[in-house]
Every structure is written in C-alpha cells, then in structure tokens.
Amino acid sequence: MCGIVAYLGERQAYPILMKGLKRLEYRGYDSAGVAILDGEMLLYKVKGKVAELVASIGKKKTSGTVGMAHTRWATHGEPNEINAHPHYSPTHNLAIIHNGIIENYVALKKELLKRGYIFQSETDTEVLIHLIEDIKLNERVDLVNAVQIALKQVIGAYAIVVISKDDPDILVAARKSSPLVIGIGKKEFFVASDAAPIIEHTSDVVYLNDEEIAIIQKNKPLKIKTISDIERTPYIEKLELNLSKIEKSGFEHFMLKEIFEQPHSIRDSMRGRLKINEGIVALGGILDYEQKLINARRILIVACGTSWHAGLVGEYLIEELARIPVEVEYASEFRYRKPVINEEDVVIAISQSGETADTLAAIELAKSKGATIIGICNVVGSSIARATHAGSYTHAGPEIGVASTKAFTAQVTILVMLALRLAYKRGTLPMSQFYQLLNELDGIPEKVEKTLLLNDKIKKLAEIFKDSTNALYLGRGYNFPVALEGALKLKEISYIHAEGYPAAEMKHGPIALIDENMPVVVLATNKTIYDKVVTNIQEVKARKGIIIAIVNEGDKTIGEMADYSIEVPETEEIFTPLISTIPLQLFSYHMAVLRGCNVDQPRNLAKSVTVE
C-alpha cells in the first residue's frame, strides 16, 4: 500500500523518481506526488496515476539531485490532490512521504492544534511532519534527532522519507512494520518500498529493520541508527532479481504475463526440492523445524485473500496425506479473536508480498504464545519472511498484477510438497503411492502449459458472458478453494459480483439466485465425488442456470450436460487446484479486458495490504 521512492546522488532525481514510481504503482495508484530539492523545494502532486503527475508537471522545473516521490492508496482522507503526498511541514522547510498508518494521529493532532498549527489535509502523515518540525524548532535539534523523537511518540506503522530545504544534502528514512529498502550505488543512494525501482541501478541493498533510521548523505557512507539512537552497521545484501522479471515482456498486461509464466514458476517452486530421481521431496528452508511440524498438535494456517485460499488447499492436503489436524484462519480475525495457541502448535503464514499487516500481526501473536512459525512467502527478505522461524520461498518471481495468479499456484505447490514430505516422515502414505504422486507432481508444469492452450477458447467464452452482472462458482473437495479463488479473481478485476460456494451448500441458500441469467461455473474435475457434482449440476439446470463446466479431458457426461465446457488435462485429485484454477484466471482476465477494466490496477485495490 503506497509506494515510496527517493534518490540522492549526482544525477537528476526527477526521471529516476518517475521511473521508480511507475514500477511501484501496483502498490497504490489513487494519487501521486514528488518533491525535489534545488535551492528551493519543488513539490507537485495530483489526484490520479503517475502518468497524470508527469503530464501535469510537463515542462515545469524539475532539476535537482535529491528528491522523493509517492504513489498513494488512500487510508485517511479521500484520494485528492491535498491528501496526496508529499506533505509539507508548517514552514514548508520539510516534506515527508509515508506508507503506513499513524494510529494515534488524532491525539497528536489535537496537541498540535492546541498549539495553533493548521492542517491542510485529512491525513495522518501531515500530523507527523508537523510534529517533526515542531520538535526540530522547539527543542533545537537537528533533523535526524527530530525524526527520532517524533517517531518515539508514534503508535502505528510507517515507512517514511523526510527531506529538508535547510539540509539539502540529506535524506532521512525510517521504518516500522512497513517495508523500506535502500540501494547503494556509486556516489548515489535509492530508497524504495521494494526493490523494483532500485534493481536497474544497483544490486547492493540494505533492508531497514523496525524502528531503524537511515541517514543518507552526499559523499558519506550510509548510516543507520535506531530511533533510540543506537548505531547499527548496515548489512549489505545482493539483490537476485533481474529487470526482465519486472517488465511486461510483450504481454498486454502483467496479469496475463504472470498467468502464462505458471509452467515456469511452478517448476521454480519445485526446483531443488522435488528430486524425482532420488524419490525425495524436501523443503530446505524448514528442515531445522521439520520435527516441530511432524509432532505438531495441530497446524494453523493464517493468511488473507488468495493466500488464504491456498491455505484452504493446504488444509485438505495436510489432513489427507499427513493426518495432522489443520485449521485455516483469516489473519485479520485470528489476531483479534483470542485464539487458543500453545507451544505444540505450528503456524504456517502464507503471503505473496510478505508484507500483509494482518498476517504479520497474526504471526506476532502466535509467536508470543510460543508457537513455531513457518512462512510461505514470495518476496525474498520481506517482513513476514524475516518474522518467521523458518520458511520456504515460493520463488514465483515478482508478481506485479494486483490479482494474484502465479503466486497462488506457487503457494499450492509448496503446500503440496510440504504435505507429501510430512506424509513420508510420518509414514501416513504407502510408499508406492508416495512415489506415484511425486511423478505426477513432476509432470504438472507440462499440464499447466497444455491448459494455457485453452486461452482462445476461454476468450470466446468471456465474449459471451462479458455483460453478466453476477456469477456463481461451485466446487467440491479440492475444487472448493478453487471456486472461491475463481470468484475473487472475477470480482476484483472485472467488478462483476461473484460468489464461490461448496457445490452442495448451494441448496442451503444461493440456489435462490439461480435463473436463466446466472452463469454458474462448476469445477467438475473431481473423481471421488463425481456423481455428487453431476447431481449439483442437475440442480442448477433444473432452475435454468447456465452451466460453464471445467471438466477433465474426454468427460462426455458433464460435457454434454453443461451449456459450455472447458476440458483440462486430468491429474491426481490432490493436484487439481494447480490445473483447474488456470481457466478461471484466464476467464476473469478476458472478462475484465472486454469490459474495459484496468486489469493490473483494479479500482480501490493495492498489491500489498500493509494497513489493517
């Protein structure tokens, strides 16, 4: 949520900032702004996207080698020019950009109002910069000290950058519970919410930890202190990301590119873990904590959104294969509902971004009760990856489209391997079946590739249904989480109301919605409860619902019963989510494109939800 980028060096800051901001736009895009120091403070902002900011600046002055920029996802105050960042301090000497939420901003604002300060915006961020300047002037301290003192009074999450007209050769950056990474180049520094804007300039980076402040100065080495003024040695890491991974590479949208990357991303998730010739599956990152998992009283999976859907697949997998009780929780509910957790519990936190605020808070809660925490994250070095005891990266590569696609299949792949590993270690699966499943898993990327060949057929289907106002997605067993995921994909990018349901639950309520205008997507690739799914389809047909069935290749029974059918390669039931989710991703994508929606940047959404 919100993208931050800042530069200090010898080059012109503006083009670097605008390019960087474009790469961060997936984090939020309701307004954007930039501030540059060049003797004076140049500050421009607009309601809208980065392109609109660039257009509105046009030929106005943008020179200067120190600056910062922001793309916003609104929390406090509607998206408009006034609420956009950067925010000035009262004297206009300082400016700030911020990602996060200052939870006690009302109390801080009240104090400042009493002292006569006037606020332009409705944001919590403006309160912080007023506070910093108030401290700087009244306590006669330098900028770094003022930021330290102010942040000690702050409750909440922040990643900030502050610049000062009076100190034009310094950037002060700080973080708590919101990510911030610093790139170190030759005589230049970059600050950003994630590595995307930095990668083309340098691969040497320092990830700030909570309550650390980076003091970035011209011609001086990077200095890091805590807000309590304890000096820290910067730990420089090498970025393992290449530029092509964060570009569209000829695809019209990032989402489509990411859907088509799945044969590779699933293979990358399995690389070095599934050793088919040796008949082994092992997740290196969790080996030290494997015994905890094997002996777990129960496993709790916490996540949000699509990652929660992957967690549901994980529940089915681990219970069926390894016979360990599993509960799947929305992180936002778990953290506030006083759950019973103890030291024999293992919590698996799933997150693509590794920055989701609720998931992070759920981890902290479970940790405080003594549970072992295992992470399944995509973004290397992210807050969740660092907060867990151990974990497995999904290695899906950067996911830029707001709608999660390849991250989901990568998460499911990790969960499949984890369940198989636990089953092997606990002796809950006959070895012949274990080896057969490993072989089938090894062939999944090819089956995904084959499924992607259905793209044109699915596009034609989307042309038929593009004007629908509602849709139902039904699935049973392993296809139930896929139904939820399919419905989420459709609603988030095409704004069509869609609901995912366990197929048999339909007659307990949603069946009332079915009429001749209701498309019902039925996931019918299950073998074990095939007949039950057939019955559910009949129930819909009897009420004139329109059936779009996802079936196994050669399935004539449902194929003939359905109004439209999509045949996908058959696989073992436990792997079906890796296949049956692909046509649903493509369907949502084409529906959204045909409806003229902004696929990669759907309204009101942001890629990583770093606020509660």
Is 597 tagged catalytic?
no
Task: Give the whole-angstrom CA distance, residue 35 versus residue 26.
Answer: 21
The encoded tokens of residue 86 equal: 């950067």
Minimum distance of ligand M6R from residue 49's CB (angstroms): 18
Catalytic hit among 49, 257, 406, 607: 607
Residue 25: what residue type? Answer: E
Interface with ligand M6R (CB under 6 A), residue total 17
Return the residue of 577, 608, 610, 611 that touches ligand M6R, per CB under 6 A: 608
Task: Give the whole-angstrom CA distance, residue 436 versus residue 317.
Answer: 16
Return the residue of 89, 99, 203, 356 that touches ligand M6R, per CB under 6 A: 356
Return the residue of 306, 468, 525, 580 that touches ligand M6R, per CB under 6 A: 306
How would you classify the pairing of strands 189-192 and 94-99? unpaired
Return the residue of 352, 372, 409, 610 that touches ligand M6R, per CB under 6 A: 352
Residue among 135, 40, 149 at smallest CA distance from 93? 40
Question: Using CA of residue 130, residue 133, residue 138, residue 141, what is the dihedral sign?
Answer: positive
Looking at residue 11, the DSSP 8-state letter turns out to be: S
The residue among 433 and 604 lying less far from ligand M6R, judged by its C-beta, is 604
Confirm or reject binding of residue 581 to ligand M6R (CB under 6 A): no
Question: Using CA of residue 84, residue 89, residue 94, residue 98, what is the dihedral sign?
Answer: negative
**Closest CB to ligand M6R: residue number:** 305
Return the H-helix or E-strand segment holding 8: strand 3-8
Q: Contact 1/610 with Cβ under 8 angstroms?
A: yes
Confirm or reject binding of residue 492 to ligand M6R (CB under 6 A): yes
Minimum distance of ligand M6R from residue 175's CB (angstroms): 18
The residue among 71 and 164 lying less far from ligand M6R, judged by its C-beta, is 71
Confirm or reject binding of residue 477 to ligand M6R (CB under 6 A): no
Return the residue of 305, 445, 500, 577 that touches ligand M6R, per CB under 6 A: 305
Confirm or reject binding of residue 409 to ligand M6R (CB under 6 A): no
195-222 CB burial, b ≥16 within 10 A, e <16:
bbbbbbbbbebbbbebbbbbbbebeeee
Confirm or reject binding of residue 611 to ligand M6R (CB under 6 A): no
471: β partners: 498
The residue among 38 and 600 lying less far from ligand M6R, judged by its C-beta, is 600
Minimum distance of ligand M6R from residue 355's CB (angstroms): 7
Confirm or reject binding of residue 537 to ligand M6R (CB under 6 A): no
Q: Contact 82/29 with Cβ under 8 angstroms?
A: no
Minimum distance of ligand M6R from residue 191's CB (angstroms): 21
Task: Give the whole-angstrom CA distance, residue 562 versus residue 556.
Answer: 10
Give φ, ψ of 173 to 5 degrees: -125, 145
Give φ, ψ of 610 to 5 degrees: -90, 15
Minimum distance of ligand M6R from residue 307's CB (angstroms): 4
Look at residue 434 and give its three-state secondary structure.
helix
Return the residue of 404, 494, 525, 526 that touches ligand M6R, per CB under 6 A: 404
Instruction: Mark the segment that binds ligand M6R (CB under 6 A) among 294-302, 303-311, 414-422, 525-533.
Output: 303-311
Confirm or reject binding of residue 126 to ligand M6R (CB under 6 A): no
Task: Give the whole-angstrom CA distance, residue 549 versus residue 551.
Answer: 6
Is 2 tagged catalytic?
yes
Q: Which residues lie near ligand M6R (CB under 6 A)?
A: 304-307, 351-353, 356, 359, 402-404, 488, 492, 605, 608-609
The catalytic site residues sit at: 2, 607
